[in-house]
A and B are shown apart, each in its own frame.
Chain A
Amino acid sequence: MRTFLSVLTVLAAIVAFWYAACIPMNIKGVLDTAERAGFEVSPATSKERRDMGSFGLVASNSFAIAETFSQDRPRLPAPHQVVRELWNTTVMKKVTSKRSLVYHGQVTLKATLLGFVIGTGLGILLAVGIVHSRVMDMSVMPWAIVSQTIPIIALAPMIIVVLYSIGVQGILPKAIISAYLSFFPVVVGMVKGLRSPDAMQLDLLKTYSASTSQGFWKLRLPSSMPYLFTSLKIGIAASLLGAIVGELPTGAVSGLGARLLAGSYYGQTVQIWSALFAAAILAGLLVALLEVIEKTVLKRMGMSG
């Protein structure tokens, strides 16, 4: 109960800060609208106001404060505007509608999950290779690290163009970008996990003359489970990010990335923010789902702390 209250307090503080930030962020827009509607504002012209600080404007036009929370296209939408937009585009819209975030969310989710499966599979395979072969350890690991230093926003269009030229389009290019981001945490985590059995455990298997593959299936793989789940949680969030980034350069018409892009074309800040929140909520749900699976599996394996 105490922790719940503390969490609630932090949340309230964030929301309060957000509301407070809306006032100086939006004041100029509000005053411009008010001036055009014939209200008296000080200073009177937009030109004079341009050089003034936001806080000064707020101080001299306190009647406009309420308006900063209810503009159509605010610089920074207020929390309740984002919540209203989220509500209207999820619960109040049919899921087949092109304006439904549920529709766009599931488009992105499909690419995310496909990319996550590809990335995780690839990551595990690479980790197995790296752990069992010194050559792979020395040749693959540096490239895996380098691959993550390239900004994905620069790489994504190229991946899409190259794949398009060989006839691959639709969900797969997005999934590949998402796999590109999610394989890395899986490689790093699984290499650590597969190497986690100590020398004594490995010696024990040696005294049974166990083969490498017996050692892998009976000892290394089960030992790596806690590491795998940690990696999967990072990986799925990276997958979602990759899928969204994959939607940006294609001019895609559906998906959360497309929603973000369309919002920025038309200055629909409320739409951008609600798409952002939809993405964050989706990532949160995916990570929470993995956490439940992790708890169940590790408990059954007797490995939960």
Chain B
Amino acid sequence: MNTQTTTQAHAPQGATEAVVEAKNLDLVFPTNDGPVQALKDVNLTINKGDFVSFIGPSGCGKTTFLRVMAALEHPTGGSITVNGMSPDEARKQRAYGYVFQAAGLYPWRTIAKNIKLPLEIMGFSKAEQDKRVEQVLELVELSGFGGKYPWQLSGGMQQRASIARALAFDADILLMDEPFGALDEIVRDHLNEQLLKLWARTNKTIGFVTHSIPEAVYLSTKIVVMSPRPGRITDVIESTLPRERPLDIRDSQEFIDIAHRVREGLRAGHADD
């Protein structure tokens, strides 16, 4: 695998179509200690097929921004569209699947039944449900585990099952909030590799919140560096790494350069508070 050959990097053909567009986005939470500005003047465009990571210290608004995209929070100023619609409308159109830090599988349901949860709620037919469960289990390399209960699976496998659940209803956008944050580094590396493969096979647009610089650089086509108080974007880095990335790409100079720039961005965000 020679990583030097691919210079036309990240975007697949004809993929400049904007999926998410945020303009001058503001979000203020009212709290007992007065209002807290969670997001201030955030401008960002995410194109179809992008893998966008949000990185920054706690309180920088990276999770909040993901939640705004998912219509779990509502901005107090500015505008945001998902697939050209408001996030609420996009949710009704099943535009995105959401993966949380904890797998959150129901212990009383088997893996297959857990994956069926959104399908049942959305009213898919029984036959369609079974078909889709098979498909997504295969995508996350858990074929044959459908009949197992969550407690019979390792933490990493549980998180893969939760990704399968988010993929089951075939949303174009996958929003992931520190999905591997609770796992150890070896499992994490493995899941990162798998996630890239899955992304390449499905051509989803992915929004990914992380604390880890190597994880952000390894996975992303676009890295959004954020800083706290108020939560804002300090740098947006378009990755020059090729789309296909073996794990050892992390030792290349290009990788180290990008990681360096991310670190600089994080430091700059901290300097002025």
Q: Which of the segments A65-73, A115-123, A198-206 contacts the partner chain?
A: A198-206
Q: Which of the segments A150-158, A161-169, A208-216, A253-261 contacts the partner chain?
A: A208-216
A207 in contact with B104 (CB, 8 Å): no
Which residue in chain A gives the minimum CB-CB distance to B70?
Answer: A207
A218 part of interface (Cβ distance < 8 Å): yes
Given contacts A200-B102, A203-B72, contact A210 B108 (CB under 8 A): no
Which residue in chain A gives the minimum CB-CB distance to B122?
Answer: A208
B228 part of interface (Cβ distance < 8 Å): no
Q: How many residues of B contact A (CB 8 A)?
A: 23
Query: A-side binding surface: helix, strand, loop or mixed?
Result: helix
Residues of B within 8 A of A302 (CB): 107-108, 149-151
Residues of A within 8 A of B65 (CB): none
Contact of B106 among A208, A210, A219 (CB under 8 A): A219
Which B residues between 196 and 254 are near A, CB-CB below 8 angstroms?
Answer: none
Residues of B within 8 A of A207 (CB): 70, 72, 91, 96-98
Report the bound CA distance from A91 to B63 in whole Å: 69
- CB of A189, distance to nearest CB on chain B (Å): 18
Which residue in chain A gives the minimum CB-CB distance to B117?
Answer: A218
Residues of B within 8 A of A301 (CB): 107-108
Which A residues between 289 and 304 are near B, CB-CB below 8 angstroms?
Answer: 300-303
B145 part of interface (Cβ distance < 8 Å): no
Interface centre among A208, A219, A303 (most CB of B within 10 A): A208
Report the bound CA distance from A209 to B97 in whole Å: 11
A249 part of interface (Cβ distance < 8 Å): no
A303 in contact with B104 (CB, 8 Å): no
Report the bound CA distance from A300 to B108 in whole Å: 7
Report the bound CA distance from A124 to B92 in whole Å: 32
Which residue in chain A gives the minimum CB-CB distance to B98?
Answer: A207
B118 part of interface (Cβ distance < 8 Å): yes
- CB of B107, distance to nearest CB on chain A (Å): 4
Contact of A208 among B100, B104, B118, B149 (CB under 8 A): B118
Provide the A214-242 mask, 1 if CB < 8 A to any CB of B, else 0: 10001100100000000000000000000
- CB of B99, distance to nearest CB on chain A (Å): 9
Residues of A within 8 A of B100 (CB): 200, 203-204
B264 part of interface (Cβ distance < 8 Å): no
Report the bound CA distance from A210 to B169 in whole Å: 14
Report the bound CA distance from A210 to B92 in whole Å: 10
Which A residues between 83 and 129 are near B, CB-CB below 8 angstroms?
Answer: none
Report the bound CA distance from A232 to B169 in whole Å: 39
Report the bound CA distance from A204 to B165 in whole Å: 11
- CB of A198, distance to nearest CB on chain B (Å): 8
B121 part of interface (Cβ distance < 8 Å): yes
Contact of A206 among B72, B101, B106 (CB under 8 A): B72
- CB of A37, distance to nearest CB on chain B (Å): 70
Residues of B within 8 A of A218 (CB): 106, 117, 120-121
- CB of B90, distance to nearest CB on chain A (Å): 11
- CB of A22, distance to nearest CB on chain B (Å): 52
Report the bound CA distance from A254 to B100 in whole Å: 60
B118 in contact with A201 (CB, 8 Å): no
Which B residues between 106 and 165 are near A, CB-CB below 8 angstroms?
Answer: 106-108, 117-118, 120-122, 149-151
B150 in contact with A209 (CB, 8 Å): no
- CB of B108, distance to nearest CB on chain A (Å): 4
Report the bound CA distance from A210 to B70 in whole Å: 14
Contact of B98 among A201, A204, A210, A214 (CB under 8 A): A204
Report the bound CA distance from A79 to B98 in whole Å: 65
Report the bound CA distance from A303 to B108 in whole Å: 7
- CB of A298, distance to nearest CB on chain B (Å): 9
A205 in contact with B121 (CB, 8 Å): yes
- CB of A197, distance to nearest CB on chain B (Å): 9
* Known A204-B104, A214-B121, A302-B151; further 11 A-B contacts with Cβ < 8 A: A200-B100, A200-B104, A203-B100, A205-B121, A206-B72, A208-B117, A208-B122, A208-B169, A210-B121, A218-B106, A218-B120
Interchain residue pairs with CB less than 8 A apart (9): A200-B100, A207-B72, A209-B121, A209-B122, A214-B121, A218-B117, A302-B108, A303-B107, A303-B108
- The 4 closest A-B CB pairs, nearest first, are A301-B108, A302-B107, A207-B98, A208-B118
